[in-house]
Chain A
Amino acid sequence: MKILVCISSVPDTTTKITFTNNNTELNSAGVQFVINPNDEFGLTKALQLKEANPGSTVTVIHVGPAANDPVIRKSLAIGADDAVRIDCEALDALQVANEIAAYVKANPFDVIITGKESIDYNGAIVPHALGELLGIPSVSPCIGLEIKGNEAKLTGMVDGGKEELTASLPVVAGGQKGLVDEKELRIPNMRGIMQARTKPLAVVAPTGSDVSQKVSNYDSPAPKAACKMIDANNVEELVNLLQNEAKVI
């Protein structure tokens, strides 16, 4: 079985987000970039599927510039067999999906795993757009994935619950926590890090798919007014404020 994991490079979750150059760019000074957390759950699932199905391979693919190679090498250190980087600065999610779909059409895979969304642009677009472009089913957010022969059993999140589904391979699954547990995530060991240096990383030219949007600038959330403190022995005052000042209950 050939498994493809799509990874995105995003600011670490502890990053305080600020903007620069007239608020037209993310201020990346001092920002640590990591594998998108949702993608990392997917990568771990891919490695588990590989171990359960001997002879399988796990390839990671990333659309981005050479500056993002560290997250690709980390994925290889965690256990992926090889990697592909499509060499372009994508401007929107559809461009990312188009570039990955073009690669997959030329190099087919049985299972394609993405994150349900990246934690920077939060589009939640790539898994479904990829499924549509390839003419195959997509389930995202996906919190359960089992493969038996040519069939996938998938558990999709729906608002207020979950849905069990089946589909013939190939499929796209959009991972998040729950696809594997937090404690199942793998930390690269020294041997993995050494091996990652020599695992294949193919750099592929983009197809030049068109762009459907561009960011003009960014805004930061409006600052909160000072917190009103209420005495722990006077919770009635909190109820009064919620009813009559905030008017939310």
Chain B
Amino acid sequence: MSVLIYIEHTNGTVKKNVLEAASYAVAFAEKIGSSATGVAIGDVSDDEIKKVGSSGISKVIKIGGQSYLNHQKVAAIINDMANSLNASTVIFPGSTEGKGAGARLAIKMGAGIATEVVDIPSSTSPITLKKKAFSGKGFANIELTKAKNVIVISTNSFGVAEKQVDCSIEASSTSSNDKSLKHVSFDRNTEGISLPDAELVVSAGRGLKGPENWGMIEELAGTLGAATACSKPVSDIGWRGHHEHVGQTGIAISPNLYIAVGISGAIQHLAGVSSSKTIVVINTDSEAPFFKAADYGIVGDAFDVVPKLTAALKAAKG
């Protein structure tokens, strides 16, 4: 009745949302009196895999020979591992691949599945978990009634625990080979930082008056090392791409810091960003509803405040 954790990598890099899922897996295993084993697949170095040792994972099974992966291949391989290790729980990071592989794996294992999970079980018989619901407008406490379960973590909700242990890697292989989806090409946004798992996000809305004014937003984001995002109207009128739209019908994010510039804060927008740890709102309208959801606010013109803020950050960083 062991716990497995999928050690996802992106082009060979193990990202923070995976360390978060690893931390969760260790805490979950402790809670049910078991231990957590990692499974890594494909072209990723031992050094990268061993990063999860900092979250308390002491053993990772590494499956080689898979140079191209997708959620279907991952589900099939993890299913083999879950069978051979008699796993009762498989944990995934809250990534696109994690959600896709998790759902397919749940069917293969005859397991239940909970996604957007924010905390370890409050009780273990039955396993009772808290998950996000209503696009950030609420939480549901759910009881999992199956003997086996797949759990997908909500990124930036549980946090990374520092719990350094030695991490050993055991090589393994698989005969699994799902070829039903044929890869043609990747188009990764090479500029900037990936929004879904960003820790800092700078976002702007119609208050910026036009796409030509985004330079100052990108400069502020660049100074902070933040990802850029936008409101729904901005992506609807094509000032910025859909992949930057945060909100109820876009991407839901929970970074440590969310800076909203020229966004009034409609309820649909707040739903997608309200679980950010710290929210800063910059708006000309002191009555903008976003200030009620913010930690820090500045009433002022973005064209005046944003460049000054960028300069102040540069000065503070020396």
Q: Which residues of A contact B (CB under 8 A)?
A: 11, 13-17, 19, 26, 37-38, 92-94, 97, 119-129, 131-133, 136-141, 143, 153, 156-168, 176-178, 181-183, 211-221, 224-225, 227-232, 235-236, 238-243, 246, 248-249
Q: In whole angstroms, what is the CA distance A157 to B188 when docked?
A: 10
B145 in contact with A17 (CB, 8 Å):
no
Q: Kindly report which residue of chain A lies nearest to residue B183, judged by CB atoms.
A: A165
Chain B min CB distance to A184 (Å):
11
* Given contacts A165-B183, A212-B144, A218-B140, A119 and B135 within 8 Å (CB-CB): yes
- What residues of A have a CB within 8 angstroms of the CB of B75 in the complex? 132
B187 in contact with A162 (CB, 8 Å):
yes
- What residues of A have a CB within 8 angstroms of the CB of B196 in the complex? 159-160
A129 in contact with B249 (CB, 8 Å):
no
B99 in contact with A132 (CB, 8 Å):
no
A219 in contact with B181 (CB, 8 Å):
no
- What residues of A have a CB within 8 angstroms of the CB of B315 in the complex? 236
- What residues of B have a CB within 8 angstroms of the CB of A124 in the complex? 99, 103, 115
B183 in contact with A140 (CB, 8 Å):
no
B138 in contact with A94 (CB, 8 Å):
no
Q: In whole angstroms, what is the CA distance A127 to B96 when docked?
A: 13
- What residues of A have a CB within 8 angstroms of the CB of B97 in the complex? 158-159
Q: Kindly report which residue of chain A lies nearest to residue B149, judged by CB atoms.
A: A212
- What residues of A have a CB within 8 angstroms of the CB of B267 in the complex? 13-16
- What residues of A have a CB within 8 angstroms of the CB of B296 in the complex? 227-230, 238, 241-242, 246
Chain A min CB distance to B110 (Å):
9
B309 in contact with A129 (CB, 8 Å):
no
B140 in contact with A137 (CB, 8 Å):
no
- What residues of B have a CB within 8 angstroms of the CB of A228 in the complex? 295-297
- What residues of B have a CB within 8 angstroms of the CB of A143 in the complex? 242
B182 in contact with A242 (CB, 8 Å):
no
B249 contact from A38, A229, A249, Cβ within 8 A = A38
A164 contact from B71, B184, B235, Cβ within 8 A = B184
A122 in contact with B312 (CB, 8 Å):
no
B298 contact from A16, A37, A238, Cβ within 8 A = A238
* Given contacts A164-B187, A232-B304, A235-B312, A125 and B252 within 8 Å (CB-CB): no
B138 in contact with A229 (CB, 8 Å):
no
Q: In whole angstroms, what is the CA distance A181 to B120 when docked?
A: 38
A17 in contact with B114 (CB, 8 Å):
no
The 10 closest A-B pairs by CB, nearest first: A232-B300, A212-B112, A160-B194, A161-B188, A128-B103, A17-B137, A164-B184, A132-B107, A178-B242, A248-B257
Residue among A131, A158, A165, A243 with most chain B CB within 10 A = A158
Q: In whole angstroms, what is the CA distance A140 to B99 when docked?
A: 9
Q: Which of B33-41, B55-63, B270-278 contacts A (4 or more CB under 8 A)?
A: B270-278
B200 near A: Cβ within 8 Å? yes
Q: In whole angstroms, what is the CA distance A216 to B133 when docked?
A: 13
B121 near A: Cβ within 8 Å? no
- Overall SS of chain B's interface: mixed
Given contacts A220-B139, A236-B315, 10 further A-B contacts (CB under 8 A): A122-B132, A124-B103, A125-B106, A132-B108, A138-B104, A165-B181, A166-B184, A183-B236, A230-B298, A249-B200
B182 in contact with A165 (CB, 8 Å):
yes
Q: In whole angstroms, what is the CA distance A31 to B162 when docked?
A: 44
Q: Which of B22-30, B165-173, B207-215, B286-294 contacts A (4 or more CB under 8 A)?
A: B286-294
Chain B min CB distance to A35 (Å):
12
B281 in contact with A122 (CB, 8 Å):
no
B107 in contact with A177 (CB, 8 Å):
no
- What residues of A have a CB within 8 angstroms of the CB of B103 in the complex? 93, 124-129, 132
- What residues of B have a CB within 8 angstroms of the CB of A132 in the complex? 75, 103-104, 107-108
Chain A min CB distance to B108 (Å):
7
B116 near A: Cβ within 8 Å? yes
* Given contacts A218-B140, A242-B257, A159 and B95 within 8 Å (CB-CB): yes
* Given contacts A94-B113, A212-B145, A128 and B295 within 8 Å (CB-CB): no
Could you give, for residues 141-171 of chain B, a 1 whenever the CB lies within 8 Å of some chain A CB and a 0 otherwise?
Answer: 1111110010000000000000000000000
A221 in contact with B136 (CB, 8 Å):
yes
B182 in contact with A167 (CB, 8 Å):
yes
Q: Kindly report which residue of chain B lies nearest to residue A16, judged by CB atoms.
A: B267
- What residues of A have a CB within 8 angstroms of the CB of B292 in the complex? 224, 227
A235 in contact with B305 (CB, 8 Å):
yes
- What residues of B have a CB within 8 angstroms of the CB of A121 in the complex? 133-134, 140
Q: In whole angstroms, what is the CA distance A93 to B279 when docked?
A: 32
Q: In whole angstroms, what is the CA distance A129 to B106 when docked?
A: 8
- What residues of B have a CB within 8 angstroms of the CB of A240 in the complex? 316
Q: In whole angstroms, what is the CA distance A17 to B136 when docked?
A: 10
Could you give, for residues 221-239 of chain B, a 1 whenever the CB lies within 8 Å of some chain A CB and a 0 otherwise?
Answer: 0001000000000011000
A119 in contact with B183 (CB, 8 Å):
no
A159 in contact with B142 (CB, 8 Å):
no
* Given contacts A224-B292, A224-B294, A213 and B278 within 8 Å (CB-CB): no
A13 in contact with B305 (CB, 8 Å):
no
* Given contacts A137-B72, A141-B96, A158-B96, A229 and B299 within 8 Å (CB-CB): yes
B187 contact from A92, A120, A128, A163, Cβ within 8 A = A163
A167 in contact with B181 (CB, 8 Å):
yes
Chain B min CB distance to A123 (Å):
5
